[in-house]
Structure 1
């Protein structure tokens, strides 16, 4: 160890603070004072370790180490460092090897077929993130963004039922750790060997939470093993176990949950009751009704939400009775309308049924209570209330006293919660109608949720019509709920709108999000048709400087990404 001579001091320990820290954090067991390691036979005598620490803390002027040889202003400090170096070497040389950890059991077998060689190489490339670097000024260039293609590659590989190569499991788990959107597909692809590996590395514990049906969980038909893990397992294991049992037999999961429910922590009860969304049915009503009296507000709110998603539940009928007393047919001039009388109080019974009494900041109490009553009521009660009118007629009725926006927004949330396509369709209206004039809410986030209730083909057709009528400026959230690859009418409407935006000299970077979606969601077969858009036309006089160059670059990247996706799909086709 090289000698380091600190400056001298006459007032205290400041010059030796670093020395003290080093001494106190040195690894290894502290030898007992006076032991043979302090004064080995034939070796130099050095003070005990505790004395060195004391000298370092107090300062060598106040407490010089015993037996410090030599003279001069720095001799005590130098002797302290020399003694510390000697002790450190002795202690490290005397460490004994730690006992070996138990050898892990063998990895489980994975009978799925191996990847084709070309697909194996492609996976390694995607996980290594070998995308070409973007150009200057934050521009991405024309090369595909490989990291954004990983989800599609995994989905296709899982569709064909391939197993992950053993060498790819660590980078695959690392990628899934960094990106939660990859986890479901990545864990399916990793299979039982990936979960076995995740159990050996704390950084990959997230994988165990999604281990439903894996070799890490007992067979759901093995009742003794299920009960033992439920009572003794870690929280992540119990969540995965409950999900696995729920998927196999919903009522068995409910019975399992009931055995320990009174003794669970509030945050655990919330996670467990939320798992009942999968396979929710009338058989869950009794348990959820009891949870309405839970001591945790969040648990009560979740139980009420789940019960309101069951139109036949007693809670749904109680909420409907309250809502019907607030919303009724009326007359505006000579035509029918909707009259609204919002609640004047939020009584204890309403609060027990999940109505939150205190509104958010900036929200009126009565409108807050009304919205909760309407969104928790079965949509089936409104046609009878309004003289047999269907949803399309009801949502177009004028609403008195400015309550229309509040009432329609609540109906939107009810349609999403109850997965009612008829009401979702009515509240969306025709795609050509501007959102601000539509029958439902103008919120694009709410409209996206309504779209998700519709069948996939109808959803894509509606968004294609919306883009054709209103362009892309408000379509980004709507595109996110459309199934991929986009159907031809939707894909064509997106590309046409991008082309129109370019020809109009629009600011190009405002469409970068839609262009990124197109790279991942357009049908790869569209690549040849889009080739014509990769050229750089002359810029209009009022266009943003360099805009057409950006557009050309973006379309080149789109075409190259589509062709890469097509190649990826070919590589994953099983050999015959």
Structure 2
């Protein structure tokens, strides 16, 4: 017998064709891992070679008689079970520290801790040899897994393919190969590719383009990591993205957030609609409900009502929320029944939707309650609004969606009052308060410091009822300082009120606000303006940034606005910014290094605008 040592998965001194062949003049025809007998084909897994220290003596307890099934006669086939390597004087001799090679976990522990910290572990070389032997054993003993059921074929996606340049750009954006930040957190002058991805997806969806199949995994990974990407990413991924998401548990978010619109049956195909509604995934059912309602609102509501009582509470809430689009008076009977739902959140959502219908019975009940709390006091020289907040929240109020327990820091009575006023129809107030116009009502003084509470409730009502007249009055003049004159002083409330105005009116109001007050309080207001910003708004932002730079302002105070400008400024404004990319001379009293930061920020802004223009060109090719 010739000495042979198996290291890893390769036998030595063997003439066989297999990688584990270790026999003299033989070949390995089986799945064995080790050395075969002299001249034999070596198909079995054996313990020990002839005369090796790891082998049993002939006739011993671990060996069969010559020619028996556990041993291999010279020239005969080997069929015995093998548990190690028995090469003559091999490195795994019985005297070694890893003789017989212990459990894999022990080897890993010794490797992690080091052989010097494990008594009797031997040398590092012996440990590695033992690991190689165990690796071979594990591979040789592996039982093939049963093949799983093949998934169904991916559905077709008939949308046009991306232009090649746009496909390469998407791969770069998904890789997020942005330049690293400089020391001290400075972003440098290179564009932030990750921030351009949402805009790229929006443009691709506007053009109805198909996502490349090879980029779908990276696209779903990006959507998993960033919730702000999910609506656009899942719409772009289309039916194939939803199909792929079902095969990976890490992408299960797509099952609840995908639109699925590309794989929905036609709304007029009643049989297919019913089948998908009964058997579809939640995301598909939500998309189906929206599609059917857009085609026939009554049919969509009937579809939901048929299974309403069997739906889970969280699903009922999501289905009910989808009724916001296309909400009409014909939805009132269903919503009125939902006020008795066993879920508090469902009841509250139903009440909110009913209060958005000024002619609903709930809105009328809320108007009566609010009118008993708010009235016009003419006893003084100037007419004043008098407020008497509710003293209790009875069962009827709770059924109509009034939450009895206020959040921390709010008084009960003011909490109840706000809910009544925001749910009452806005057109009821001019009649209730002396026939005055909406701007006049907003300017009326309110007794006993109830003004902020009343105006905040009116703001919520204007947003809920999408009343532009009340929104304009509550916004007040953009030139007026916050807290002065009519209207609300809250920037958050102003941002919500702006959202219901037309795009042009919104941009004009914010542009005039920035021209009057600068950028320090404009961040929230800019966020509700349509991208790209209109010309007047873009110019107002650029002018305000230049004024802030020339005034020596602390530059990092405007990093948020600068980031918005990178995403929202019209690329056509880039020529006006070229002059601002140079480093200005240091001014007395300016923040140290401010000039360099401003130049760097403007360079990044210009580069980003150029890149955004390129993205549009690539997607339109």
Q: TM-score band, normalised by the shorter chain?
A: 0.7 to 0.9
| 5+ long unaligned stretches in structure 1 | 3-35, 47-54, 57-72, 76-81
* Residues 458-497 of structure 1 mapped to structure 2, 5 A cutoff: 458-497=505-544
Displacement after TM superposition at 1:464 (Å): 0.5
Match of 2:575 in 1: 528
* Partner Cα distance (1:87, 1:345) in 2: 76
In the alignment, structure 1 residue 163 sits paired with structure 2 residue 218: no
SS in 2 for 1:329: strand
Q: Which is further off, 106-115 or 127-136?
A: 106-115
In the alignment, structure 1 residue 358 sits paired with structure 2 residue 405: yes
1:110 corresponds to which of 154, 157, 165:
157
2:480 corresponds to which of 403, 408, 433:
433
Displacement after TM superposition at 1:480 (Å): 0.1
Q: Which is further off, 519-528 or 359-368?
A: 359-368
| 5+ long unaligned stretches in structure 2 | 1-5, 8-45, 48-60, 64-69, 72-79, 84-101, 104-118, 122-128
Displacement after TM superposition at 1:536 (Å): 1.3
SS in 1 for 2:189: coil
Contact 1:212 1:243 in 2 (8 A): no
When residues 402 and 89 of structure 1 are mapped into structure 2, their CA distance, relative to the original with a 3 A threshold, is: same
Match of 2:17 in 1: none
Displacement after TM superposition at 1:474 (Å): 0.6
Aligned residues: 513
In the alignment, structure 1 residue 239 sits paired with structure 2 residue 286: yes
Match of 1:5 in 2: none
Higher RCO (CA-CA < 8 Å; seq separation 6+): 1
* Partner Cα distance (2:132, 2:267) in 1: 59
* Partner Cα distance (1:240, 1:217) in 2: 8
Q: Which is further off, 279-288 or 140-149?
A: 279-288
Bigger proportion of residues as helix:
1
Q: Which is further off, 95-104 or 551-560?
A: 95-104
Match of 2:276 in 1: 229
For the pair shown, which has the larger CA radius of gyration, 1 or 2? 2
2:238 corresponds to which of 178, 191, 209:
191
Displacement after TM superposition at 1:564 (Å): 1.1
Match of 1:125 in 2: 172
Match of 1:220 in 2: 267
Match of 2:470 in 1: 423
Normalized against structure 2, the TM-score is what? Answer: 0.77
Match of 1:444 in 2: 491
Match of 1:61 in 2: none
Match of 2:423 in 1: 376
In the alignment, structure 1 residue 543 sits paired with structure 2 residue 582: no
Contact 1:409 1:440 in 2 (8 A): no
Q: Which is further off, 229-238 or 37-46?
A: 37-46
The two structures, once aligned, show a CA RMSD in angstroms of 2.9
Q: Which is further off, 383-392 or 312-321?
A: 383-392
Q: Deviations over 1:497-532 (max 9, x none)?
A: 111111111111010000000011111011111111
SS in 1 for 2:375: strand
* Partner Cα distance (1:433, 1:204) in 2: 49
* Partner Cα distance (1:465, 1:84) in 2: 74
* Partner Cα distance (1:124, 1:84) in 2: 40
2:325 corresponds to which of 258, 278, 287:
278
SS in 2 for 1:398: coil
* Partner Cα distance (2:467, 2:274) in 1: 37
Match of 1:324 in 2: 371
Match of 2:146 in 1: 99
Match of 1:266 in 2: 313
Contact 2:255 2:281 in 1 (8 A): no
When residues 84 and 124 of structure 1 are mapped into structure 2, their CA distance, relative to the original with a 3 A threshold, is: closer
When residues 366 and 178 of structure 1 are mapped into structure 2, their CA distance, relative to the original with a 3 A threshold, is: same
2:384 corresponds to which of 295, 320, 337:
337
Q: Deviations over 1:100-125 (max 9, x none)?
A: 22333333333332222222222222
Q: Deviations over 1:294-326 (max 9, x none)?
A: 121111111111110111110000000111111
* Partner Cα distance (2:488, 2:379) in 1: 22
Normalized against structure 1, the TM-score is what? Answer: 0.83
Q: Deviations over 1:375-414 (max 9, x none)?
A: 0000010111122211111000011111111100000000
Displacement after TM superposition at 1:374 (Å): 0.3
